A and B are shown apart, each in its own frame.
Chain A
Amino acid sequence: MNGLGIHIEGVRKRYGEGDTAVDALKDVNMTVAPGEVVGLIGPSGSGKTTLLKCLGAVIEPSAGRMTLGSEIIYDDGWKIPDLRALRRDRIGFVFQAPYLIPFLDVTDNVALPSMLAGRSNKDSRKRAMELLEALDVAHRAKAQPSQLSGGEQQRVAIARALINQPPVILADEPTAPLDSERALSVIRILNQMAQQYQTAIIVVTHDEKIIPTFERIYHIRDGKTFEENGEGKKP
């Protein structure tokens, strides 16, 4: 780890208090380097989603430390003041369903996070078009999300996650609704983008088709993570 990418250490998350308290995360450690795509696998109730929310600065861990690049995000109860801006500028999200904004066309869906970050509409759209071209959906730039296929929608969602060139992208089961071919295509794109933009990508998945493509996999069970080397098959 060279100080960039994302690193968490001893992260705990407790819901509730007293007898009803539940420890969703007990001792989680994880490091993802820039340009790397790692898998996060675990059964239901293992703490995957809680970990993803902590990584995405949506909920705060009860204890532990998280750094993004060279910046400390959480450190045993301390947190940076503006988590919303952190999510906007430094974390990209790709969801199981693409969750594109239905009333914006493809270009503006991709450009929106950039506009929210204060860049001009023109610059944001130009950057969005570049990403759409890189992801091979530029021909649907003016289409509405409802006019796209599932695979196209997911590529648009990936472009949206990349628009602000975040150091980390969190992908929550991005291939779940897709068939094998499209699922592998999405993973191929994520690998390509990770390399091209030096982004650390964490993919939460149950999908047996794509698990062999990761070089490193984190298993999570009962709120604890275990690292193993993956097969790293090229998708």
Chain B
Amino acid sequence: MISLAGRDILHSWSKFVFTGIGLGLLIGVTLSMAGIYRGMVDDAKALLNNSGADLWVVQQDTLGPYAESSSIRDDVYRSMLGLSGVARAANVTYLTMQVRKGESDVRAMVVGFEPGQPGQPEYLVAGRQITRNHYEAVADVKTGFQIGDVIRIRRHDFTVVGLTRRMVSSGGDPMVFVPLKDAQEAQFLKDNDAILNERARTAANPSLNRPGVPGLLEAIQASQTSNRNVNAVLVQVVPGTSPEAVANEIKRWKHLQAYTRTQMEEILVAKLIATSAKQIAMFLVILAIVSAAIVAFIIYTMTLSKIREIAVLKLIGTRNRTIAGMILQQALGLGLIGFLVGKTAATFWAPIFPKYVLLEPGDAIRGFIAVMLICAIASTLAIRAALRVDPATAIGG
């Protein structure tokens, strides 16, 4: 038996191809939405992987340093180093801000780190690591900065000495790495006017500017202009040591919060991007319904335009299941064309997105199955219409 569906598709291939392209672009959008979600999760994991830490030590009762703000003293790392099972510990700061280069600016996460310690970019694609104590930076290539560029962070200029790749925040913003001291200054220090204002207020406060206590006011004012805070301490444990055990130790004795990698992943994926994920899921559901409606209308219209032929087929003895099979195959054929177009389109336009779009083969397979299922379900309307056709229609009267 010849394939009636195949012959019909070949006969009116242009109609099928153009309809398939239209459907395919919609499927491409759907696949891209899934890719955007995957990209967000991957960004979150990249952030954790790139930090090189086994534990994140942050302010007590916070989900810092990525999901909530956290502020701890910068000498905390010393007490960490004294704990059993801790190999390395280092301060880090994170601050998402606009980094200016000339007249333009780029949204970036500025990371303060100590060279040679956890938190340092693990690899570079160009240039070198930071070797000076101040005013050098390593930037992710997505910032668009080049080696030798001078960028401005708050009040200071930094020279880009190295470039790295896939170093992004959980929000997908590229990272700019600077020395810890500079980052602390950028994050915690006030501008000159604010400092002058604060000094005047302190001097006007009789409890802080007591007569007969020389040096008190100067000491207080000096403490206001220096900063001893960081956002987190990254801890690497000795190989073979359980990070959970060390985390429990820190929580119990140091009055700080310590998260393991698994917990941090949970915070980033389940909490930080949960709302975005739900938003994307809603889009996916709507797109699936729209795709199903489009396939249903197209197949239904195509079937209605063949009512006379279907009546003739039934009159000459074609089984209902052969006619249903023809319509189902056409719907699946349309879905196949649509999926191929959609997958190709998504692959081509994914790199153009400002944020990372990760198209996973598993999602493509799931998408393909979903498209086929949607097409099969959508064809039922047309099949019902076809099976209702009276063969007597062919005779007329």
B312 at the interface (CB under 8 A from A): yes
The interface residues of chain A lying within 8 Å CB-to-CB of B397 are 48-50, 52-53
B308 at the interface (CB under 8 A from A): yes
The interface residues of chain A lying within 8 Å CB-to-CB of B390 are 58
Q: Using an 8 Å CB-CB cutoff, how does the interface string of B305-344 with A read, 1 for contact, 0 for none?
A: 0001100111111110010000000000000000000000
Scan residues 284-321 of chain B and give those whose CB is less than 8 A from a CB of chain A. 308-309, 312-319
Size of chain A's interface in residues, with CB distance under 8 A?
Answer: 31
Q: How many A-B residue pairs have CB under 8 A?
A: 79
Complex partner residue of B317 from A88, A103, A121, A144, CB under 8 angstroms: A88
**A53-B392, A53-B395, A103-B7 given; A113·B2 CB < 8 A:** no
Q: Using an 8 Å CB-CB cutoff, how does the interface string of A35-54 with B read, 1 for contact, 0 for none?
A: 00000000000001110110
B12 at the interface (CB under 8 A from A): yes
The interface residues of chain B lying within 8 Å CB-to-CB of A58 are 315, 390-392, 395
Complex partner residue of A101 from B309, B314, B391, CB under 8 angstroms: B309
| A95–B394 touching, CB < 8 Å | yes
| A84–B2 touching, CB < 8 Å | no
B: interface residue count bin: 20 to 34
How distant is the Cα of A230 from the Cα of B129 in the complex, in angstroms? 108
A32 at the interface (CB under 8 A from B): no
B282 at the interface (CB under 8 A from A): no
| B317–A87 touching, CB < 8 Å | yes
How distant is the Cα of A53 from the Cα of B390 in the complex, in angstroms? 11
How distant is the Cα of A200 from the Cα of B230 in the complex, in angstroms? 101
Please give me the residue from chain A that is nearest to B313 by CB atom: A101
B2, B316, B322, B392 — most chain A CB neighbours (10 Å):
B316
Minimum CB–CB distance for A135 against chain B, Å: 18
| B7–A172 touching, CB < 8 Å | no
| B316–A113 touching, CB < 8 Å | yes
B8 at the interface (CB under 8 A from A): yes
B322, B394, B395 — most chain A CB neighbours (10 Å):
B395
Scan residues 373-397 of chain B and give those whose CB is less than 8 A from a CB of chain A. 390-392, 394-397
How distant is the Cα of A85 from the Cα of B317 in the complex, in angstroms? 6
| B312–A101 touching, CB < 8 Å | yes
**A102-B309, A103-B7, A121-B1 given; A93·B317 CB < 8 A:** no
**A88-B317, A102-B11 given; A115·B1 CB < 8 A:** yes
Q: Using an 8 Å CB-CB cutoff, how does the interface string of B2-25 with A read, 1 for contact, 0 for none?
A: 101001101110000000000000
**A99-B309, A103-B7, A116-B317 given; A56·B2 CB < 8 A:** no
How distant is the Cα of A103 from the Cα of B313 in the complex, in angstroms? 13
Minimum CB–CB distance for A141 against chain B, Å: 15
Q: Using an 8 Å CB-CB cutoff, how does the interface string of A138-151 with B read, 1 for contact, 0 for none?
A: 00000010000000
The interface residues of chain B lying within 8 Å CB-to-CB of A103 are 4, 7-8, 10-12
A104 at the interface (CB under 8 A from B): yes
Residues of B at the A interface (CB closer than 8 Å) are 1-2, 4, 7-8, 10-12, 308-309, 312-319, 322, 390-392, 394-397
14 further A-B pairs in the complex, CB-CB below 8 A; given A99-B309, A103-B10: A48-B397, A84-B314, A87-B315, A88-B318, A95-B312, A99-B312, A101-B313, A102-B309, A103-B4, A112-B316, A113-B316, A116-B1, A116-B317, A116-B322
- Which 5 A-B pairs give the minimum distances between C-beta atoms? A88-B317, A49-B397, A103-B11, A103-B8, A58-B392
